[in-house]
Structure 1
Amino acid sequence: MQSSTVSTPEPALAQPAPVRRLLSLDALRGFDMFWIIGGEEIFHVLAKTTGWAWAIFMADQFTHVDWNGFRPYDCIFPLFLFLAGVSTPYSLGSRLERGDDRGAMVRKIITRGLVLVLLGIIYNNGLFTKSLDEMRFPSVLARIGLAGMFAQLIYVYVRNERARYAVFAGILLGYWALLMLVPVPGFGAGNLTMEGSLVGYIDRLVMPGRLYKVVHDPEGLLSTLPAIATGLLGVFAGTVLRHKNISDARKLRQLALAGVTCVALGWVWNLVLPVNKNLWTSSFVLVAGGWSLIALSLFYWIIDMMNWRWWTFFFVVIGMNSILIYLAGEVINFEYASHYLFGGLLHIFSKPVQAIGAVLGFLAVKWLFLYFLYKKKVFMRV
């Protein structure tokens, strides 16, 4: 990992920078990160302070379901992993076509994935911990690092596009078979509860340290397998977008149709395999991946086809340093900085306005921090 000053901005993703940037990709990544870094609090505070029905509804949509089911907020994490996959054909495709050393590429891919695992451990536990038992090893960054790494390795070694689709289908079907057919001591086979699922059992059996939910970890070991398929969906989308012999209109149709198809198939599969983010079920991969494809289609149409770009800068600034802003909250007290800058001004307003203003001030400080780095052309590359 390094922070560097460069002449051309490069994306903060778990892979090398694409040769030709898609503004829609940076904007969508920034839009996704906006909610991760605290954007959802706008609706939660509005709901709490006003009681408005629409604000309560929106606040509910920006929460995770307890177990089975799906809300828009459940798509935030898989969308980020999907977008990492979209960049892969741009970052690796031209190098493969030039005949660059594949071994060197693979070493960089693996190193990058392992660095993200290490950063995730530090993010969870800090630099100093009392004992191994108190540490949490699974993390969001580890899921991105490992799933993205294997998706990229599949892209490098499986050069036939149909074979990649076969790998994708094999992962989803194989994971379904594991969940339904492998018995868990004391619970039997096909148990999809938090305590009785094969996912939780594997976490308790092999993962050192503590688990996020004691008996289960949503970023655990076995559920990383279907997350690879989420990354591969992004690879498929990136392959379509990078194709030189397909018109923009046809690319848009293919992405949108694929998205609608995935969502429909995922909900049909839900009849026998519940859509579940914690288990990252195969049906969840399709539903979340389908909505990711639809979101990418929309951003691609608006930004890269219609050229309506005036509104994108706010999100691009966030998307260009996505990993950095995710980590920065652990070492920079943005809330204190926001209170220092805006607290006195907000004090003259009513309590609801103060609450909304505090959230907006917190987000403004984070964005200004990223804008400063953007203007200095400083980007974190992992």
Structure 2
Amino acid sequence: MTVQKKPQRLQSLDALRGFDMFFIMGGGPLFIALATLFPTPFFQAIAQQMQHVEWHGLSFEDMIFPLFLFIAGISFPFSLEKQRASGMTDSAIYKKIIRRGITLVILGLVYGGILSLDFENQRYASVLGRIGLAWMFAAILFVNTRTITRVWITAGILIGYWLLLAFVPAPDGNGADVFSMEGCLVGYVDRIMLPGHLYLKIHDPEGILSTVPAIATALLGMFTGEFIKLQKKEFTETKKVLYLLVVGLILVVSGVIWNLFFPINKNLWTSSFVCTVGGISMILFALFYYIIDVKGFRGWTLFFTVIGMNSITIYLAQRFINFSFTANSIFGGITKLLPETAQPLMGAVTYIAICWGFLYFLYRQRIFLKV
């Protein structure tokens, strides 16, 4: 009788997800506040990375969203293995994939205020919607294709998207640059197909056409998870880390070179953006995986794990729960006693503390929102 090996849980994934969501939970304002208190070139440079670039280019803030999608991709090969080991049929697996994708789209609509019933001013595109759709299509591809086929599909998506945007300008662009907000096909598709409100009035960063290359971001994560799962003797855990670092570096270099022809742009989710942030995400995961899962240094991870295991919860909770009010009610008096330059830092720290305390309570009660 053959005993099936229980699919491993990557503790590094929870920690990396938590590290990523920390910046959604107040990490950005924390570093900006540090630059206010200590206006040195070092802290000011970090603070600048906590803001999105206006159009072309890349900052750390632009990394947060695609890193989350990449991480969602990594986890899928493990969850798929677990589902198949439990005897789930392909039909049941498809239903679960589609249900998760649609649930995230619905949560994105709720986050955007659809329950207010102001449909004219409703924003229908959303971060959660993009994660749901991109992950869903990538997962369906993963279930139905071999690795080499997915490699060609990913390449086809990235190259095809580049050629489409480069050679098909927006019909209403009036001759503007094809990679500009006014002249790109991406914004045109949003204007004619998305009802309600667009985030940037004539363009939406989470619009319809730019969801297609986001599928490639999820697939890059799935390639990573699939590689980590390999049990071949020639791939020791340390070698896996080295391979991921090398491939990640190659992706970054490819993205930077591609940027010369197809600008790195989060709003358009350009192919150069996919390669660059995919490479950085792979390098980050390799480091977390090596430190936590390979070397077993886990003592420092609790702070991030608590966030990572309820990442969707804190994303939604910040929309509907006034954590700032709670932080000010408890710590506002102390904050006012501090020098004016130190008050933003105290405010950022206390906000993070309240959010983390909320998540820690859920963590201790084993309450996790799973979609």
Q: Report TM bin, short chain.
A: over 0.9
Please say if residues 124 and 139 of structure 1, whose CA atoms lie closer than 8 Å, have aligned partners that are also in contact: yes
Q: What is the aligned partner in structure 2 of residue 363 from structure 1?
A: 352
Indicate whether 1:60 and 2:54 are aligned.
Answer: no
Identity, % of aligned pairs?
A: 48
Query: CA offset at residue 340 of structure 1?
Result: 1.4
SS of aligned partner of 2:337: coil
Q: What is the aligned partner in structure 1 of residue 89 from structure 2?
A: 101
Cα distance in structure 2, aligned partners of 1:72 and 1:331: 26
Please say if residues 138 and 220 of structure 1, whose CA atoms lie closer than 8 Å, have aligned partners that are also in contact: yes
Query: CA offset at residue 182 of structure 1?
Result: 2.0
TM-score by length of 1: 0.92
Q: What letter is aligned with 2:22?
A: F
Query: CA offset at residue 98 of structure 1?
Result: 6.8
Cα distance in structure 2, aligned partners of 1:281 and 1:77: 14
Cα distance in structure 2, aligned partners of 1:347 and 1:62: 25
Please say if residues 123 and 330 of structure 1, whose CA atoms lie closer than 8 Å, have aligned partners that are also in contact: yes
Match of residue 365, structure 2, among 358, 364, 376: 376
Match of residue 148, structure 2, among 162, 168, 180: 162
Cα distance in structure 2, aligned partners of 1:141 and 1:334: 21
Indicate whether 1:177 and 2:166 are aligned.
Answer: no
Please say if residues 248 and 279 of structure 2, whose CA atoms lie closer than 8 Å, have aligned partners that are also in contact: yes
Please say if residues 20 and 90 of structure 1, whose CA atoms lie closer than 8 Å, have aligned partners that are also in contact: yes
Q: What letter is aligned with 2:25?
A: I
- Superposed, which structure 2 residues align to 1:1-382 within 5 Å? 19-96=7-84, 100-130=88-118, 132-158=119-145, 160-187=146-173, 191-245=178-232, 246-382=235-371
Q: Which has the higher contact order (CA 8 A, sep 6+)?
A: 1
Please say if residues 180 and 190 of structure 1, whose CA atoms lie closer than 8 Å, have aligned partners that are also in contact: no
SS of aligned partner of 2:369: strand
Cα distance in structure 2, aligned partners of 1:79 and 1:236: 14
SS of aligned partner of 2:363: helix
Please say if residues 190 and 208 of structure 2, whose CA atoms lie closer than 8 Å, have aligned partners that are also in contact: yes
Cα distance in structure 2, aligned partners of 1:285 and 1:328: 29
Cα distance in structure 2, aligned partners of 1:107 and 1:275: 35
Cα distance in structure 1, aligned partners of 2:186 and 2:306: 37
Query: CA offset at residue 354 of structure 1?
Result: 2.3
SS of aligned partner of 2:115: coil
Query: CA offset at residue 305 of structure 1?
Result: 1.6
Q: Could you list the per-position Cα deviations for residues 212-234 of structure 1 after superposition, in whole angstroms to 9, with x for gaps in the alignment?
A: 00000000000000000000000
Q: What is the aligned partner in structure 2 of residue 11 from structure 1?
A: none
Please say if residues 181 and 189 of structure 1, whose CA atoms lie closer than 8 Å, have aligned partners that are also in contact: no
Any stretches of 5+ residues in structure 1 without a counterpart?
Answer: 1-17
Cα distance in structure 2, aligned partners of 1:326 and 1:148: 18
Cα distance in structure 2, aligned partners of 1:212 and 1:105: 34
SS of aligned partner of 1:196: coil
Cα distance in structure 2, aligned partners of 1:92 and 1:112: 13
Cα distance in structure 2, aligned partners of 1:252 and 1:84: 19
Query: CA offset at residue 99 of structure 1?
Result: 6.0
Q: Could you list the per-position Cα deviations for residues 222-247 of structure 1 after superposition, in whole angstroms to 9, with x for gaps in the alignment?
A: 00000000000000000011112221
Q: Could you list the per-position Cα deviations for residues 264-304 of structure 1 after superposition, in whole angstroms to 9, with x for gaps in the alignment?
A: 01111111111111000001000000000000011111111
Bigger mean CA offset, 330-339 vs 310-319: 330-339
Q: Aligned-pair RMSD on alpha carbons?
A: 1.6
Cα distance in structure 1, aligned partners of 2:72 and 2:94: 16
Cα distance in structure 2, aligned partners of 1:33 and 1:351: 28
SS of aligned partner of 1:329: helix
Kindly tell me the number of residue pairs found equivalent between the two proteins.
Answer: 363
Cα distance in structure 2, aligned partners of 1:123 and 1:212: 14
Cα distance in structure 2, aligned partners of 1:118 and 1:379: 19
Q: Could you list the per-position Cα deviations for residues 149-186 of structure 1 after superposition, in whole angstroms to 9, with x for gaps in the alignment?
A: 0110111111x111111111111111112111223214
CA gap 1:294/1:367 in 2 versus in 1, 3 angstroms: same
Any stretches of 5+ residues in structure 2 without a counterpart?
Answer: 1-5
Cα distance in structure 2, aligned partners of 1:215 and 1:327: 26
Please say if residues 179 and 189 of structure 1, whose CA atoms lie closer than 8 Å, have aligned partners that are also in contact: no
